[in-house]
Amino acid sequence: MEMLQIHVGGCLCGGVTFETEGPLRDVVACHCGQCRRTSGHVWAATSVHLDGFRLTSDATLGWYRSSPAARRGFCRQCGASLFWKPEAEPRIAIAAGALDSPTGLRLERHIHTEDAGDYYAPAGAPPPAAGLPDHIGCGCLCGGVSFDLPSAAGDITACHCVQCRKLSGHYAASFDVDEATIAWRCRDTIAEYETPAGGRRGFCNRCGSSLWFRSADGAFSVEAGSVIGPTGGRLAGHIFVGSKGDYYTIEDGLPQSTSW
CATH number at residue 80: 2.170.150.70
Residues of the chain with pLDDT > 90, as a percent, come to: 91
62 and 29 fall within a common domain: yes
94 and 154 fall within a common domain: no
According to the model, what pLDDT value does residue 3 have? 57
Residue 82 placed within a domain: yes
- Considering only 35-39, 215-219, 256-260, which range has the smallest mean pLDDT? 256-260
Q: Which domain holds residue 40?
A: 6-111
55 and 15 fall within a common domain: yes
Residue 142 placed within a domain: yes
65 and 156 fall within a common domain: no
According to the model, what pLDDT value does residue 66 have? 95
According to the model, what pLDDT value does residue 127 have? 87
Residue where a domain terminates, one of 87, 111, 135: 111
63 and 106 fall within a common domain: yes
Q: Nearest 5°: phi and psi at 143?
A: 90, 0
106 and 72 fall within a common domain: yes
Q: Is the pLDDT at 1 greater than 50, yes or no? A: no
Cβ pair 241, 257 in contact under 8 A: yes
Residue 19 placed within a domain: yes
11 and 71 fall within a common domain: yes
Alpha-carbon torsion angle 192, 193, 198, 200, nearest 10: -40
Single pTM value for the model: 0.94
Cβ pair 173, 166 in contact under 8 A: no
154 and 85 fall within a common domain: no
Residue 235 placed within a domain: yes
SS3 181: helix
162 and 102 fall within a common domain: no
Residue 250 placed within a domain: no
146 and 231 fall within a common domain: yes
Closest CA to 92 of 205, 16, 40, 13: 16
Residue 116 placed within a domain: no
CA distance to 21, 78, 240, per residue, from 41 (Å): 29, 17, 16
The pLDDT confidence band at residue 160, using thresholds 50, 70 and 90, is very high
100 and 199 fall within a common domain: no
Q: How many domains are there within the chain?
A: 2
Closest CA to 110 of 63, 206, 44: 44
Residue 120 placed within a domain: no
106 and 131 fall within a common domain: no
- Amino acid, res. 7: H
